[in-house]
Each structure stands twice: as C-alpha cells, then as structure tokens.
Amino acid sequence: MDNKLVVLVVIGAILLAGGGGYYYLTASGTGPSLPSNLMLVDGYFVANGLVHPPSSPEMSLKIMNAYVCNFQECGGQIYSPVGSKIFINLDIYSPTGAYGVLTIYVKKDLEAMPDEVVVKYDIPINLDPSDSKPIHVGDFTPHESTEDTFGLREYFITIYFNGYPLYDPKDPNSRIWIRTYYSQ
C-alpha cells in the first residue's frame, strides 16, 4: 500500500490504513478547549472530517519566543516576589502545518533531587503551513522563595509537542527561569 491515508468508520471507532500499517483508534470525544471543528481521537486530530496524524514535531512546530511575566517585568529570566502571579507566553510558528498537543510544564529545580512538576498545561494545536500564533499558556503562583528554601534553586519551564521535547534545556543558568524572594 502506498502512503495514502484511508479512514474507515467502524461502529464508534476509526481504522486508519496507510504508511505501511493499520492503526485502530477508539474515539475519546471532544474536549472543552478544542475548537468546535476539531476532535481528539487517541492522539490524532479529526478536523472537518479529515484525520490529521500528529505532526513530526521537529519539523512542524517552532518556538519563536518564550517568556514569563509578573506584574512588573517580562523576560526569559525574572525575579518575582513570592505569591505574585507568573504568566507564561509563547510565540509559535509552523512552516509545514502542525496538529497535535503542545505540553508546557512548570517545574521546580531542586538541588540534588529530581525536578518537581508544579503545573502542566496541554494546548491543542491546529496550524496551517506558514501560520504563527501567540499563545498565553496560563499562569501559576509560586509560594516558596528560591533564596531561603533549602534546595529550591528556581522555577523553570519545558515545552513538548506530541511528546517530543521542543524546549528542555538542562543548563539552569541559560534556560527560562523564575527566581523568587520574600518582599519586605
């Protein structure tokens, strides 16, 4: 079979044939944050009756800008008082078109321990070729100081598209971070 995609509806499920194999997907419904013409079916997007397999992450989606803000400043590395809301923002671009889920983690960088996830955001992406889009990911409120707390060095973000890391730097000095302090 050549690389054509064939979709067969089989009593509430979808059978995909193409690219050298068959894939059986059970329907999981629409989510409240999906556009009305888009349905998530076990990791595949169905838009206007067409099935879009998750895009090749390294080719289809680019993070053009990522930054964090509090009520005083925005940037890639900011200092913020404990208890102040931090807003996470991205600018994304797709040269080839992108369908899938953008996952953003806010994590605590803990010294001599594994990082700890503070909050996770899943954002459905449906971009046509050459589309760009600003995304307000969400916000979180840090409740611990990175100055006084033993072992907490900083809060930082990582970004994945369809499970593939788009932004996951290991160097704590050059990645996007938030360091917190108690205000007087």
pLDDT tens for each residue of 19-39: 333 333 333 333 344 455 555
Range with lowest mean pLDDT among 3-12, 36-45, 58-67: 3-12
Q: Which ranges in the chain are annotated with CATH 2.70.50.30? A: 58-181
Question: Which carries the bigger pLDDT value, residue 41 or residue 3?
Answer: 41
CB 137 within 8 A of CB 88: yes
CB count, 10 Å around CB of 128? 10
The percentage of the chain sitting over the pLDDT mark of 70, rounded to a whole number, equals 67
The predicted-structure confidence for 99-134, as pLDDT tens digits, reads as follows 899 999 999 999 889 999 999 999 999 999 999 999
Q: Is the whole-model pTM more than 0.85?
A: no
pLDDT at position 50 is: 55
Quote the tokens at residue 66: 């990522």
Residue 96's nearest CA partner among 71, 125, 116, 121 is: 125
Contacts of residue 157, Cβ cutoff 8 Å, sequence gap at least 6: 66, 68, 88, 104, 105, 106, 107, 167, 175, 176
β-bridge mates for residue 17, sequence order: 6, 22
Asked if residue 43 has pLDDT above 60, the reply is no
| CATH class for the domain made up of 58-181 | mainly beta
